[in-house]
Structure 1
Amino acid sequence: MVVACVKRNWNVEARVLLKREMEAAGVGYAELSEALLLQGLCLSPKVLSNKVNRGTFTMAFFLQCMALLKVDEVNLRR
């Protein structure tokens, strides 16, 4: 019996999820950058964009963004 392994790209999944929540909140990179700065995290909008688009951010960073975007629930399905 052969079992097929489907490899998911979790970095892509993370990127899509964060960008979807940013779009739903109507928040761009400049606004999120400013909000993160108030939390003590200094990332320019360009650096933030690169970080999000790589999808290699930590869960702590993701949760910080969700809190700033005022997201209470996240739907993991697309």
Structure 2
Amino acid sequence: MAELTPWEQKAKTIIRVEMTKQGISYKDLQSKLAAIGVVEEEPAIRNKVGRGKFSAAFLLQCLAAMGCTTLPLS
């Protein structure tokens, strides 16, 4: 498996940190995504985040679904 770029690793970390801060499981994230009209199966979400290979749109969808309104980039 190819190593993640620093940007891919950062995107993966952003989602995982936000999930941890809010105590959200992948199942919870699936429900939150469904509530905003994004239909994904829990294993697919887990795999995308675990691989760190997903679109910027998916990152924004996850953050919006979790109610994240600010994002420190440093």
Please indicate the TM-score interval, normalised by the length of the shorter structure.
0.7 to 0.9
| Paired residues of 1:17 and 1:76 also in contact (CA < 8 A) | no
**Larger helix share, 1 or 2:** 2
- Are 2:62 and 1:65 equivalent residues in the alignment? yes
Return the match for 2:21 from 21, 24, 30. 24
Range that drifts further, 21-30 or 38-47:
38-47
TM-score (norm 1): 0.76
Larger Rg: 1
C-alpha distance in 2 between matches for 1:40 and 1:68: 10
Instruction: Give the root-mean-square deviation of aligned CA atoms.
Output: 1.5
C-alpha distance in 2 between matches for 1:39 and 1:29: 15
Partner of 2:50: 53
TM-score (norm 2): 0.79
Partner of 1:5: none
**Identity over aligned pairs, percent:** 31
Q: Deviations over 1:13-47 (max 9, x none)?
A: 11011100111111110011112123332222111
Partner of 2:8: 11
Q: Which runs of 5+ in 2 are unaligned?
A: none
Aligned pairs for 1:31-50 within 5 A: 31-50=28-47
